[in-house]
Amino acid sequence: MRPPSVEAISNAAMSASAATLPIDILRYVDNYLGRWSIALLAAFICLTLLVSLLFKHRMQHNRAQLQSNKEMLATILDSVDAYIYIKSPSLEYQYVNQRMCDLFGLSHDDIIGRRDEVFFDPGSAAEINQVDSDVLESGKKVTVEENNVLKGGARVRTFLSIKMPLVMSPGASPSLCGISTELTDYREMQSRTHYLAFYDSLTGLPNRRLLMESLTAALEHEEWAVSHSALLVIDLDNFRLVNDIQGHECGDQLLISVAEQLRQRLEPEATLARFSSDEFVVLVNNLGEQETEAALKAERIARHLLESIAQLRSSYALPVSASIGISLFSGSDHSMDSVLQQADMALQQAKSSGGNALSFFNTEMQTSVLERASLEADLHQALERNELALHYQVQVDHQGVTTGVEALLRWYHPQRGWVSPATFIPIAEENGLIVPIGYWVLRSACEQLAKWSHQAAYASLTISVNVSSVQFQQPEFVRDVEGLLAVTQAPPGRLVLEVTESLLMREPIRVRNTMLKLRAQGVRFALDDFGTGYSSLSYLKRLPLDELKIDQSFIHELLTDKTDAAIVDTTILLAVSLGLTVVAEGVERKEQLDWLKGHGCYRYQGYLFGRPTPIEYLFETY
Ligand code: C2E
Ligand code: MG
Ligand code: MG
């Protein structure tokens, strides 16, 4: 087969498409690639055309220059940043420029006369042949993006190719002329950018943005308008503790395991995304037209996910659990934001029920959320309107002698009456109001201690004050306590600050320093609700604690539940061996008191001895 001459290529390039080719390429390239490629291709085309024009013109007048012009044109075709080739009607290469030789890693002679099966893997060669045959059959030029793998190469290479039929001599079957530029790096960069924009780099899951797009699609999807979908917001319980205690690397590892666990458990049609730190979101469509049926399915999925997360428990020192909030929706009568907001409210509900739980959004929940919002608004006024009060509950020893009291906060709401601290303290902790409220409690307790210090009958009594971890972690906390002790002249040794286990775990070094500074003033510390959180025995040893308060939940079933009895027994032994006073909370019955006494616990608090009461009735009721 005679290879086409360089003049034939330039002639063909001119006559076949000189007018339209550059415009098409430029338009395509402008759409897909950007300016740098336009410049490159435009330069190439202009150069080719210019040289071929010059060449043609001169050829007629100066045949002596033919050889040097041929070489010049060949040099230009070889040096452009594009693959240029001509294939015969039976698709064997007839001409390739140097870039083609570089691509295949072969010499010119090794390529000419061979078909693409020799250079590309079978799948790629078949695809190339198909496009080439279509061009030759239709007689039309095509612009096509080709993804091919070279023989022996593992990487998919992307080419932007322009292919057109080329009649080499009058009456002959058309050959195929092709010009390709490589887009491999560009496409890889593009897919990486897409990955970074839509996926979470830690877990590889879709991120918030991608999920929001899926959610929008779900809301707009006509077929799904009648069927229900569910949005599940999954949040790990106490994830902060994992980060704080075991370090961020462990935290990351846990998130990866949770992501993997969820991915394995979900049907492939479900969309799973990581929304923020330890929050995952699942979108499940097509749960059925009936709301109850859909709710049951969603509940089953959520339960399944909770169980699978709980299986991670054994791999970590701390148990792993999660809470799930579920919002059911159908059709376009919901906005994306409202679906998410509802699932979030449901999540809060699941969290406040103690975690490792799931909760559905419903209208009652919305009512309770609104109720909470109104309570929060009122709480802002509670201090200045004098609606807060301190009640006191006695603590006694094994001989029935009162050793001190615990100060318990009460809120008398003008419309609602008494509001439990269990209701309003979490709100105050969330919005920061606990700081001024806690300060007020401390001041009242110090004032009371100062008064008692002048009355012989009460001078030895202690007052225990509950300190929220939010309050304790304020930088001014030590200064505030010292200031109050100084101003009120309360004896510091009679003030017991009750802290919870979660505080100790949070920032152990800072917490220890704060405790040590106050301990230096004589202030004492009790660990409240012991047994309900996670305690590390080494912290218990290193912190300046004076008391352990066994949570009332263990005391309630003490006589009937063997596990509770064992926990209480062990706690007493632990406290004794650490040199701490152990106080049993929630003692209501004489039998409980006897059991505790028999097991070495000699301090008690509970309804058996007195309910929390205003100070003026405290010793009357006792
Ligand atoms: P806590 O510190 O564990 O207080 C003991 C709770 O048990 C009190 O509930 C008390 O009324 C209740 N209690 C005492 N004896 C018995 C009993 O024999 N049986 C039963 N069933 N319950 C008993 P209260 O007053 O509702 O306080 C609940 C929680 O609110 C407190 O638990 C404490 O964590 C928090 N709290 C109360 N006052 C304050 C405060 O001034 N600041 C902070 N940060 N938290 C406070
Ligand atoms: Mg307490
Ligand atoms: Mg307690």
> What's the CATH code of the domain at 427?
3.20.20.450
Concatenated DSSP letters of 392-453: EEEEEETTS-EEEEEEEEEEEETTTEEE-HHHHHHHHHHHSTHHHHHHHHHHHHHHHHHHHT
Task: Looking at the structure, tell me whether residues 468 and 599 fall in a common domain.
Answer: yes
Task: Looking at the structure, tell me whether residues 270 and 230 fall in a common domain.
Answer: yes
Ligand closest to CA 408: 1
The confidence score (pLDDT) of residue 598 equals: 97
- Is 239 inside any structural domain? yes
The confidence score (pLDDT) of residue 154 equals: 81
Q: How many residues appear in the chain?
A: 622
pLDDT digits (tens, 9 = 90+) for 518-555: 999 999 999 999 988 767 777 788 899 999 999 999 99
Mutation choice for ligand 1 from 393, 394, 396, 408, CB with most ligand atoms inside 8 A: 408
pLDDT digits (tens, 9 = 90+) for 579-613: 999 999 999 999 999 999 999 999 999 999 999 99
Percent of the chain with pLDDT over 70: 85
The atom number, within ligand 1, closest to the CA of 468 reads 44
Residues 522 and 491: their CA atoms lie apart, in Å, by: 8
The confidence score (pLDDT) of residue 195 equals: 83
Between residues 279 and 25, which one has the greater pLDDT?
Answer: 279
For residue 458 the two structure tokens come to 């009460």
Lay out the sheet containing 228-236: strands in order across. Answer: 271-276, 279-284, 228-236, 322-330, 358-360
Largest Cα–Cα separation, the chain: 129
The confidence score (pLDDT) of residue 52 equals: 59
Place of tokens 């106050």: 518
The least confident of 30-44, 180-194, 389-403 is 30-44
Task: Looking at the structure, tell me whether residues 232 and 135 fall in a common domain.
Answer: no
- Is 552 inside any structural domain? yes
Report, as an integer, the average pLDDT of 248-266.
91
Is the distance from the beta carbon of residue 502 to the nearest atom of ligand 1 less than 6 Å? no
Amino acid of residue 197: A
- Is 541 inside any structural domain? yes
pLDDT of residue 621 exceeding 50, the answer is no
Q: How far is the CA of 420 from the centre of ligand 1 (A)?
A: 9
pLDDT of residue 295 exceeding 60, the answer is yes
pLDDT of residue 23 exceeding 70, the answer is no
Taking 3-state DSSP, the helix, strand and coil percentages for the chain, each rounded to the nearest 5, stand at 55, 20, 25
- Is 104 inside any structural domain? yes
Query: Which CATH number goes with the domain that contains 313?
Result: 3.30.70.270
Residues 130 and 124: their CA atoms lie apart, in Å, by: 10
Residues 622 and 613: their CA atoms lie apart, in Å, by: 10
The least confident of 14-28, 375-389, 464-478, 499-513 is 14-28
Residues 338 and 350: their CA atoms lie apart, in Å, by: 18
SS3 (DSSP) at 381: helix
Between residues 164 and 170, which one has the greater pLDDT?
Answer: 164
Name the helix (H) or strand (E) containing 182: strand 175-182
Amino acid of residue 511: V
Q: Among 361, 395, 417, give the residue marking a domain's end.
A: 361
Residues 169 and 279: their CA atoms lie apart, in Å, by: 69
- Is 304 inside any structural domain? yes
Residues 537 and 554: their CA atoms lie apart, in Å, by: 19
Q: How far is the CA of 10 from the centre of ligand 3 (A)?
A: 92
Residues 299 and 292: their CA atoms lie apart, in Å, by: 10
Ion ligand 2 contact residues with beta carbon within 5 A: 466, 498, 528
Nearest residue by C-alpha to atom 10 in ligand 1: 612
The confidence score (pLDDT) of residue 6 equals: 45
SS3 per residue for 330-368: ECCCCCHHHHHHHHHHHHHHHHHCCCCCEEECCHHHHHH
The least confident of 176-180, 327-331, 574-578 is 327-331
Task: Looking at the structure, tell me whether residues 175 and 252 fall in a common domain.
Answer: no
Residues 299 and 302: their CA atoms lie apart, in Å, by: 5
- Is 130 inside any structural domain? yes
Give, rounded to a whole angstrom, the gap between the first and last alpha carbons of the chain.
Answer: 116
Task: Looking at the structure, tell me whether residues 270 and 153 fall in a common domain.
Answer: no
Task: Looking at the structure, tell me whether residues 545 and 473 fall in a common domain.
Answer: yes
The confidence score (pLDDT) of residue 50 equals: 46
pLDDT digits (tens, 9 = 90+) for 558-578: 999 999 999 999 999 999 999
Place of tokens 């920061």: 432
Question: Residue 277 sits in which domain range?
Answer: 198-361
Average pLDDT over the chain reads 85
Instruction: Return the ∠ at Cα 578 (arms to 572 and 583), rounded to 5°.
Output: 40
For residue 432 the two structure tokens come to 């920061």
pLDDT of residue 30 exceeding 50, the answer is no
Other CB atoms within a 10 A radius of the CB of residue 364 amount to 9
The confidence score (pLDDT) of residue 564 equals: 94
pLDDT digits (tens, 9 = 90+) for 307-323: 999 888 645 566 789 99
Nearest residue by C-alpha to atom 34 in ligand 1: 466
Report, as an integer, the average pLDDT of 423-430.
89
The confidence score (pLDDT) of residue 227 equals: 84
137 Rama sector, left if φ>0, alpha if ψ -120 to 50, beta otherwise? alpha
Nearest residue by C-alpha to atom 21 in ligand 1: 586
pLDDT of residue 147 exceeding 60, the answer is yes
- Is 535 inside any structural domain? yes
Q: How confident is the model at residue 25 (pLDDT cuts 50, 70, 90)?
A: very low
Task: Looking at the structure, tell me whether residues 584 and 447 fall in a common domain.
Answer: yes
The confidence score (pLDDT) of residue 215 equals: 79
Query: Which CATH number goes with the domain that contains 181?
Result: 3.30.450.20
Task: Looking at the structure, tell me whether residues 438 and 289 fall in a common domain.
Answer: no
Q: Among 361, 394, 416, give the residue marking a domain's end.
A: 361
pLDDT of residue 327 exceeding 80, the answer is yes
Residues 344 and 337: their CA atoms lie apart, in Å, by: 10
Residues 173 and 139: their CA atoms lie apart, in Å, by: 11
Task: Looking at the structure, tell me whether residues 141 and 277 fall in a common domain.
Answer: no
Q: How far is the CA of 553 from the centre of ligand 3 (A)?
A: 9
Q: How confident is the model at residue 369 (pLDDT cuts 50, 70, 90)?
A: low
Contacts of residues 295-304 at CB distance under 8 Å and 24 or more positions apart, as own/partner, are: 295/328, 295/360, 297/230, 298/230, 298/232, 298/326, 298/328, 298/360, 299/326, 299/358, 299/360, 301/230, 301/232, 301/266, 301/270, 302/232, 302/326, 302/358, 303/358, 304/265
How many separate domains does the chain show? 3
Task: Looking at the structure, tell me whether residues 265 and 319 fall in a common domain.
Answer: yes
Task: Looking at the structure, tell me whether residues 322 and 447 fall in a common domain.
Answer: no
Q: How far is the CA of 466 from the centre of ligand 3 (A)?
A: 9
Q: How confident is the model at residue 248 (pLDDT cuts 50, 70, 90)?
A: confident
Between residues 453 and 27, which one has the greater pLDDT?
Answer: 453
- Is 252 inside any structural domain? yes
Between residues 328 and 462, which one has the greater pLDDT?
Answer: 462
Alpha helices by DSSP H, 467-561: 469-472, 477-488, 501-506, 508-521, 537-542, 552-556
Nearest residue by C-alpha to atom 25 in ligand 1: 408
The confidence score (pLDDT) of residue 609 equals: 96
Task: Looking at the structure, tell me whether residues 225 and 345 fall in a common domain.
Answer: yes
